[in-house]
Amino acid sequence: MLNITIYGPGCARCKETEKRVRHVVEQSGVEANVVHASDPMEMAKAGILSTPAVSVNGVLKSTGSIPSEDAIRAWLS
């Protein structure tokens, strides 16, 4: 099972990122635990400098932009 974390304060871009990630996970049938981390201390600890950011199994995959569905699919494979 993959652990996917979306980092962001809850802005529109962060919500869109979470929506896209959840949509692609549902479409792909991959087992994944998707969480949204909005705590500034947690983001700092993870080294997040710009949001939205996405990590998969602790590896930072995207920062500062909304990832495309194709990019998200690639992370899941």
Percent with pLDDT over 90 in the chain = 97
Structure tokens, 46: 């993870």
* Cα–Cα distance, 4 to 8 (Å, whole number): 13
Q: How far is CA 68 from CA 12, 39, 44, 47, in A?
A: 16, 24, 24, 22
Question: In 1-77, where does DSSP find H-type helix?
Answer: 12-28, 40-45, 69-76
Q: Does residue 9 have a cis bond before it (omega within 30 degrees)?
A: no
pLDDT score recorded for residue 62 = 97
pLDDT at residue 76, as a whole number? 93
| 2-76: CATH superfamily | Glutaredoxin (3.40.30.10)
Per-residue pLDDT at 23: 98
